[in-house]
Amino acid sequence: MKQWIIGLAAAASLAALPLAPAQAQSGTLTVGLGAEATVMDPTRSSAGVDQYFFGQMFEQLVRTDPDLKQINWLAESWALSEEGGKPVITVKIRPGVTFHNGDPVTSADFQYGMQRQQDPKLSRFSHLLNAVEAFEVIDNLSFRLRFKEGDGSFITSNLHLWAMPKRHIEKVGEEEYQRAPVGTGPWKFVSRTVKEELRLEAYEGYWNKQNRPAVKNLVIKIIPEDLTRVAAYKTGAIDWIDAVPPAATAEFAKLENTSTFTAVTGNNLFLNFNTHQPNSPFNDVRVRRAAAHAIDMDAIIKRVLFDQGERYAEIGRGTPGYDPDLKPYPYDPRRARALLAEAGHPRGFEVPCYNLTTPREPNIKEMGEAAYAYLSAIGIRCQIRQLEYGAWINLGRRDAPPEMDGIVSWMWSHGLPGDPGTPWLGHLHSYQAGKGLGSYSYTDNPEMDALLRQQQTTMDPVKREALLKQIARIKHDQVLGGLTTYRPMVTIAWRTSKVAFKPWPSPGFWRNFQEIGLK
């Protein structure tokens, strides 16, 4: 056996975390979220927003800490090795972890969890475990995952598996379990009223005595309208607010007895060009570079997004493959016009520019309009066409008409800190019908395809990091798979006179109440 990495994540163990003093769990805290999860079972999740709820109740083997470092969580340790040329991950489960019903967590629960995740009738992410060949139970607290081939994003995706209570689900049945889920997390389910609220109670038997809630009851109110959510905070109806509207962040920063926390959301926005149709002007790299120099993204972030955005070049800070030497293209309209003329378009050209208008990202419509206005100013004259989310998805997908024939504002998200590998296979790899590759891609580049497939099967984090950087550099230089624009940021706020809060991502979003309490 070739041992690659032993206890990789142990480098950042729990003991390294700043410890919160153990406090008595009492009282009730009410918080306000803008979006609502639809399902509360991680197996059945179909959208990132679902994590807002199940992330409070369910846990994985590893997770990201408040500094976005991967740390062991339900895994006491784990190791990546190789047997017969195939990767193997061996996991030792943390002893003493129990589900909310008191059942101890064992290897069988992870095996059961994996079987559920692999079932396409239950999971819409079943394909993410396609590379796993076998789950071998070693004993109650350890198991081995054997892979058919390497899965590059398996480790960065927190080893994918969730602790699911096998005995409990088999006893109560799927329907009842969906109504009243049971996990291992710091919060246990009490009740839910759809479109209204989720009530949770701190789990007394929670294994982590250091990083846990210091309040007994948590009420999560769903308040979709931004200004109403702000009003609810100002009137004291809630003491913690999610997604402060960008235009109100400056006001919140000055509010008395209020702390704010601003961080990237895990979403990565870009403008995708059609470099696929033979007559597309974007087939010429000079035109793509012209576009890259044409947009004053800093100004857009400041004026349109109220500073709630962060520029990035291909891969954002903290994400695997991030290269601090790779800088976004500077705003240089003169250079942009020269490049356009050099490419044979001295008078510019007209092009359809598709703009996403979803409420999912604040001011995304206005951001797109501003970016397209900058393009028009140098001669890439945008005929802006607004698209709601469904029409936008349809346009982007390669497996059904219509084909995107110009520029489209697009995005990818892989949680926090995120991993570009899988999303790149979607919009940077060339489209291959029936293989799930390039489903949203308008780029055909064989060199890039080869590198993307290589990173897809490379599990060694060091080698993979190097590959991601290499891809990012080529992508950046050639402006392939779109022009990266910004990473949206979210601001959350809480009443410091009443609430003690430390932001944790779970596993990819900041609406996690791992450490929260009443003062």
Which chain residues interact with another protein by CB under 8 A?
A: 38-39, 44, 46-47, 120-121, 124-127, 178, 193-196, 221-225, 227-229, 231-232, 234-235, 237, 388-391, 393-394, 397, 399-400, 412, 422-423, 425-427, 433-437, 439-440
Site of tokens 């190789």: 82
Min CB(391)–another protein separation in Å: 7
C-alpha to C-alpha distance for 420 and 153, rounded to whole angstroms: 9
Assigned token pair, 321: 């493959």
Strand, coil or helix: 136: strand
Min CB(312)–another protein separation in Å: 19
Nearest C-alpha neighbor of 490 from the set 35, 56, 42, 157:
35
Cβ-based nearer residue to another protein, 142 or 249 = 249
Min CB(260)–another protein separation in Å: 19
Cβ-based nearer residue to another protein, 195 or 347 = 195
Give the number of C-alpha atoms closer than 13 A to the C-alpha of residue 324, restricted to the C-beta side.
1
Cβ-based nearer residue to another protein, 100 or 229 = 229
Cβ-based nearer residue to another protein, 291 or 425 = 425
C-alpha to C-alpha distance for 44 and 60, rounded to whole angstroms: 15
Cβ-based nearer residue to another protein, 73 or 440 = 440
Min CB(5)–another protein separation in Å: 25
C-alpha to C-alpha distance for 181 and 189, rounded to whole angstroms: 6
Min CB(58)–another protein separation in Å: 16
Helices (H) and strands (E) in the chain, counts: 14, 22
Assigned token pair, 301: 């972030």
Cβ-based nearer residue to another protein, 45 or 208 = 45
Min CB(422)–another protein separation in Å: 5
Min CB(247)–another protein separation in Å: 14
Min CB(38)–another protein separation in Å: 5
Min CB(124)–another protein separation in Å: 5
End-to-end CA distance of the chain: 53
- Sorted by sequence, the CB contacts under 8 Å of residue 489 that are 6+ apart come out as 262, 263, 264, 265, 307, 308, 309, 310
Strand, coil or helix: 209: coil
Cβ-based nearer residue to another protein, 10 or 237 = 237
**CA dihedral over 132, 137, 142, 144, signed as positive or negative:** negative
Cβ-based nearer residue to another protein, 293 or 429 = 429
Cβ-based nearer residue to another protein, 71 or 492 = 492
Cβ-based nearer residue to another protein, 79 or 232 = 232
Min CB(430)–another protein separation in Å: 14
- Provide the 10 A C-beta neighbour count for residue 4: 18
Yes or no: say if 510 and 263 are a contact pair by the CB < 8 Å rule.
yes
Min CB(206)–another protein separation in Å: 27
Site of tokens 């993307």: 452
C-alpha to C-alpha distance for 365 and 307, rounded to whole angstroms: 16
Helices (H), 238-360: 249-254, 285-294, 297-303, 333-342
Cβ-based nearer residue to another protein, 388 or 403 = 388
Yes or no: say if 293 and 331 are a contact pair by the CB < 8 Å rule.
yes
Phi-psi region of 17 (alpha: psi -120 to 50; beta: other; left: phi over 0): beta
- Sorted by sequence, the CB contacts under 8 Å of residue 462 that are 6+ apart come out as none
